[in-house]
Amino acid sequence: MSLMQIAEPNQSAQPHQHRFGLGIDLGTTRSLVAVVRSGKAQVLEAGSTTDTLLPSVVYYPATGTPLVGYDALAHLADDPKNTIVSAKRFMGRSQADIKFSHPYELSGSKDDMPAFVTAQGEVSPVEVSARILAALEQRAASALPADSIEGAVITVPAYFDEAQRQATKDAAQAAGINVLRLLNEPTAAAVAYGLDQESNKESHYLIYDLGGGTFDVSILKLTDGVFEVLATGGNSALGGDDIDRLITNWIIKRLNIDPKDVSLHDKSVLAQQAKAYKQALTEAEQVEITVTVNGQHYQGILRREDVLAIVEPVSRRTLSVCEQVLRDAKLTAKELDEVILVGGSTRMPAIQQVVTEFFAKQPLCRLNPDEVVALGAAQTAHQLVNGDSDNNLLLLDVTPLSLGLETMGGLVEVLIPRNTPIPVKKRQVFTTYQDGQTGMVIHVVQGERETVENCRSLGRFELYGIPPMKAGFARIEVTFSIDANGQLTVSAQETTTKTESKIEIAPSYGLSDEQKEQLLVAGFKHAEEDKNARSLIETKVEAEREVLALESALNEFAPLLSSEEQHTLAEQIQALKTVLDTNDLAMIEAQQAQLKPHSDAFAARIMNQSVKASMAGTSAQDW
């Protein structure tokens, strides 16, 4: 008797065929791809070599196919303008926001994400990233059975905003990769360290992630298998590249040369040498340096203590972020169970020393800091692809900045406060401001201030089809939804007609580092000022609504009042309109109080008339 092969719904018809989910760490300077095989996460090597790292570099020659990785890196010294390094720093950012030094010619308007001008034409950061992702996917395809890759979890800095995350997804799509999820890099590291650990007590971890071009800090709480991100912060343009530049400038100054007078070629060569010296100092106490700058030769000794002083501007900025994140999480350094080092730059003894001294504990770094993010992403991808029910780990990322919409008077109504765990969906009901209003503009903003002018605009969309009715009677339900990838969708629905409109927030550029810092710091600095401003605006808006409602009622129900009462009410309304032209909160509230008895009496007569009209012709038997 023949046997029939049976497959469960949504499962492979070939029960022995493995399905793989890739974990991709798309780094600023180096990238990796990992996968779970035989129950263990492992980083995939390049072909027959043992090298797991792929330089995040693409070279665009005048003719021929662009080169990726080490082949591209070989052209950095002799052709820096066509060798694109650290494209991740440009992802989802406007040209106006790019204030760090680079050797590239950029095109495009200041408000758009720039393109690199290369020998093969203009190339966007998304296209550069797509080539790197394609190379990683090809590496995985060569190591795994044919047609077994279901997709990839791609990591991003925790502080990437919506535009930067969308740019990463666009790059993956251009590379032909199915994105299972975007995962914050610190969270991926937590997965790699904590996935197989079981603890009954509540634990707090700080992830200090200093890579080649980005810095991230996250504080995570682990409770009963739930990893929750309590707070996150960072700088998307701070990392090992900046350390290399500081060491490069230190060397140049030894020759009494102004760094501005050094050619791009010499700077590129020096940066590579500086990186080599930095890496050598991971094991050695000092290294001998030999360089040539503008025809001048220099020989000397670079010591670990020299590097500690040289990198102080970078280490100080990282610790400042740590302090802010601890405040956000309402924790002290003593309350942390572990500090976990992630990113190749944390190999530096200078960085390990300042972290150890700041937190007064030895940081955890038993896993390869270059690989830990990719390993965590691979474990997450394995769970998503295979539905691993044996592991009940739950990840809760957070949104880094508050999200809301504009209301009357230019105020911000926050629907999702910053550090809210994602995915998340929040709804709130709003109403119309004027009689007969049939449409409204939904303005989505991001930031920590009370007024729209001090926050960042993310997008606008319009809702039409609201039934005309008295102001305040319409019901507009606005929904903010952030998925597991951090993508924001905002929708608005009129509850009577079910008319709906929505927008997926994907602005053309991200926040600059200065803007990110300003949005957070300004929220604290101007808290009292904003509170007073909000109180004034809310009072004025409410008074203006009352004036509109009374003027509308007078037009319709004036006969219910005597001539003297009409005149008195009109005088009180005009008096309120006059003080509304000022910003004197006390005067506005005082005038509202004077108007209230007259408006209440008018409202009572309107209500009485409505009740009499509805009762007309009704007998006791009807009840």
Of the residues 127, 185, 266, 494, only one is catalytic, namely 185
> Is 244 annotated in the active site?
no
Residue 137 tokens, joined: 């996917």
The Cα angle at residue 181 between residues 234 and 66, in degrees rounded to 5: 80
In the numeric block, the tokens 């474990």 are attached to 379
Give the ranges where 18-87 is alpha helix by DSSP (H): 70-73
Which residue of the set 25, 328, 371, 513 is catalytic? 25
The DSSP 8-state label assigned to residue 4 in this structure reads P
Beta-ladder partners of 490: 480, 503
How many CB atoms are located within 10 Å of the residue 341 CB?
24
Q: What angle do CA 422, 161, 332 make, to 5 degrees?
A: 65
Are 393 and 382 in contact, with CB atoms under 8 Å apart? Answer: no
C-alpha 237/C-alpha 413 separation (Å) is: 30
Cα separation values, 488 from 185, 218, 398, 482, Å: 19, 21, 13, 4
**Residue 445 tokens, joined:** 């903003």
**Catalytic position from the list 79, 127, 137, 209:** 209
SS3 615: helix
Q: Which helix (H) or strand (E) holds 537?
A: helix 527-557
The answer to whether 241 is a known catalytic residue is no
CB 43 within 8 A of CB 161: no
Q: Other C-beta atoms within 10 Å of 405: how many?
A: 23
Decide if 209 is catalytic: yes
DSSP 337: S
> CA torsion, points 242, 245, 251, 252, in degrees to nearest 10?
-140
Distances in whole angstroms, Cα of residue 137 to Cα of each of 44, 147, 180, 211: 10, 12, 14, 22
For residue 145, CA distances in Å to 99, 140, 399 come to 45, 9, 37
| 42: enclosing H helix or E strand | strand 40-43
Task: Provide φ and ψ at 57, rounded to 5°.
Answer: -135, 135
- Who's near 183: CB < 8 A, 6+ residues apart? 153, 154, 155, 156, 376, 377, 380, 395, 397
Angle at 317 between CA 312 and CA 322, to 5 degrees: 120
Which phi and psi (to 5°) does residue 35 adopt?
-155, 155
Contacting residues for 156 by C-beta, under 8 A, at least 6 apart: 26, 164, 165, 168, 182, 183, 184, 185, 486
Does 425 qualify as catalytic in the annotation? no
Determine which one of 88, 169, 267, 278 is catalytic. Answer: 88
Q: Phi-psi region for residue 476, left (φ > 0), alpha (ψ -120 to 50) or beta? A: beta
Amino acid identity of 11? Q
Burial of 18 (0-12, 13-18, 19+ CB in 10 A): middle
Catalytic annotation, residues:
25, 88, 185, 209
